[in-house]
Structures are given as structure tokens and as C-alpha cells.
Amino acid sequence: MSRKPIIAGNWKMNKTAKESRAFIEDVKLDIPSNDLVDAVIGAPAIFLEAMTEAVQGTDLQVAAQNCYWEDEGAFTGESSPKTLSDLGVDYVIIGHSERRQYFHESNEEINKKAHAIFRNGMKPIICCGETLETYEAGNAEEFVGQQITAALNELTEGQVQSLVIAYEPIWAIGTGKSATKDDAQKMCKTIRHIVAENFNQEVADQVRIQYGGSVKPENIAEYLACPDVDGALVGGASLQPESFLSLLEAIN
């Protein structure tokens, strides 16, 4: 089963519009072809328009880091999925552990966002992952299974096979303490199994599953070599042009 790898940078709340344009200028000629890899940058909502303009004519794609589940209305401060789509955004990252932890997002809300993203012609990157406590108690697979089952509720088979799931154990995010490749493979395989149970094997064989958590140029190849890991969602190591390009070089 060959699935196209997807390497996505998650810039979180970093950079200005000017810095983002300079980054795109630096990397754009060296992005590998879209036929080989989906190279994506997840930028803050406030300068997504600058990003979608800057990547035109390149093989880079743009992700938002969040959106609301209604297309419009009286929801002060939220980002409309309809507007993100209109700006040319390709993917929306949803359910990141920082949003679950600091903004109390629930599995049900994440599922509503997934539906809204598809309704507007974009694709979700759905994050999941357990705390250190849950990992040490041996309950990670059950916990992540519940997150995934809830997030995918009532999506169609066609939608699920086109979306991306990012397994990001919370204890590995920004800590420098990355999961072992065996841990990453084991959980990505479990997630694929859950997709097969909830939908079918064909859908599970198509869905792309990333690992995230302290991924860097030095360790990305280990993860990409795992049969059920189809790419990476990268925070800190995606912020510098050279480092982002080195991550993409791991695809061959």
C-alpha cells in the first residue's frame, strides 16, 4: 500500500506576516514535487492570506491551525471554515493537544469541525495523543482510540480515506523527548486498526497517519521508515527554512 507522505510544519503562535513571506521565499525553490510528498505549513490565522498568496506557483500547501464549525454568524473571534477555504487554505489542523488543554476543546467539537472542514472543501489533520500519566498507566491505546472514534463520527468513507490523523503524544511535544519509533509505529498501527473497525480495511489502508512530537531532521527518517507512519507534524523544527527543508529531504 503506497500512501503519499505528508510533512507538515505547525508554526503554532510564531512569526509575523513579514517573517512568513521571507520563509516562503527561502524555501520555495527547494520544495520536493507534490507527486512525492505533501509539504504543508500550518500558520497562524492572522496571516494565512499572506501565506496562500506567497505559496502560489510552488509545491507548498497551507494549513490553518484551527477553525470554528459554523460557516458564519455571531461567533466573535472565531475563524470561519468558509473564509479559510476562500483564502485558498488546503488543510485545517484540529484537536491539537494545546487546544484541548488550554481551550478545553472536546472530542465532539473536534468532530463538528471535521464536518465543517469537509463541507468547505478542505481536509482536516486530526490530532490525537495521550498524557504521560495515561501512557505510563498503559491506557494510551484505549484513550487515543476513543479520541479517533469520536473525531470521525458520521464522516463518510470517502472523507475518512482522504483525511490525515496526527498521533502526537503530549509528553513528546516540545520536550525533546520524542517517542521511540516502536512506540510511534505501534500507536499508528492501532489507529489504522480502529479506522478499519469503524469503517473498513480499504479506508484504513488509505488514511494517512503522521507522528508528531520532537521530530527533527536528525530523527525523522526513523519514523518515516515505520510501515504505518506516513509523515510527521513538526513544531519547533519547522520554524527555520533550512530545518524545514532538511525534514523534507528525508523523503526519497
Catalytic residue flag (residue 168): yes
List, as one string, the DSSP characters of 166-218.
EE--GGGTTSS-PPPHHHHHHHHHHHHHHHHHHS-HHHHHH-EEEEESS--TT
Binding segment for ligand 13P among 55-63, 147-155, 222-230, 231-239 (CB under 6 A)? 231-239
**Residue located via cell numbers 472542514:** 117
- Count the Cβ atoms, other than its own, within 10 Å of residue 137: 12
**According to the binding rule CB under 6 A, does residue 114 interact with ligand 13P?**
no
Q: Please state the closest distance from residue 235 (CB atom) to ligand 13P, in A.
A: 2
**According to the binding rule CB under 6 A, does residue 174 interact with ligand 13P?**
yes
**According to the binding rule CB under 6 A, does residue 184 interact with ligand 13P?**
no
Which three three-digit cell numbers place residue 222?
Answer: 526513523
Binding segment for ligand 13P among 18-26, 112-120, 166-174, 201-209 (CB under 6 A)? 166-174
Vertex 155: Cα angle to 43 and 52 (nearest 5): 20
Q: Is 200 annotated as a binding residue?
A: no
**According to the binding rule CB under 6 A, does residue 235 interact with ligand 13P?**
yes
Catalytic residue flag (residue 193): no
Q: Which of 122, 179, 188, 233 binds ligand 13P (CB under 6 A)?
A: 233
Out of 49, 98, 109, 168, which one is annotated catalytic? 168
Nearer to ligand 13P (CB atom), residue 173 or residue 250: 173
Smallest Cα–Cα separation from 230: which of 34, 37, 93?
37
The CA distances from residue 210 to 5, 28, 53, 169, 247, in Å, are: 9, 23, 26, 12, 13
The CA distances from residue 219 to 179, 180, 188, 230, 247, in Å, are: 10, 10, 17, 14, 9
Binding segment for ligand 13P among 99-107, 131-139, 207-215, 242-250 (CB under 6 A)? 207-215
Nearer to ligand 13P (CB atom), residue 61 or residue 214: 214
- Where on the chain is the footprint of ligand 13P (CB under 6 A)? 10, 96, 168, 173-174, 212-215, 233-237
